Amino acid sequence: MEIRIQSIHFDAAEQLQAFIQKKASKLEKFYDDITAVEVVLKVVKPEVAKNKEAGIKVIIPNGDFYAEKVCDTFEQSVDECLEALGKQLTKHKEKQRNK
């Protein structure tokens, strides 16, 4: 599984990138056949409390899943996205089993 991190208009700290790598790799417990995970981080203007946006796209052989959240911190945004994606992948897996 390949994990790509893109930060728009800023440089993501190594600590943040390591956090995302660790968390994103846990998606494999929901679905085995993940090809790639694309993470896009950006700071939403104007500068308000909740201005850290994370968009995560999970690519699997027969399609892809996407979640986007805006929170106080990138870590929180990434956590919430991954939680939503976990639910999407679980649902997809159940649908495949029922076919």
Q: What is the pLDDT of residues 85-95, one digit of tens each?
A: 999 999 999 99
Global pTM exceeds 0.85? yes
- At residue 46 the predicted structure's pLDDT band, cuts being 50, 70 and 90, is confident
Q: How many whole angstroms separate alpha carbon 39 and alpha carbon 54?
A: 7
Domain 2-98 part of CATH 3.30.590.10: no
Annotated domain spans of the chain: 2-98
Contact 77, 54 (CB under 8 A): yes
Token pair belonging to 79: 């956590």
pLDDT of 49 above 80: no
Among 53, 28, 45, residue whose Cα is nearest residue 2 = 28
pLDDT of 96 above 90: no
H or E segment to which residue 65 belongs: strand 63-71
* pLDDT tens, residue by residue, 1-29: 999 999 998 999 999 999 999 999 999 99
How confident is the model at residue 94, as a pLDDT?
92
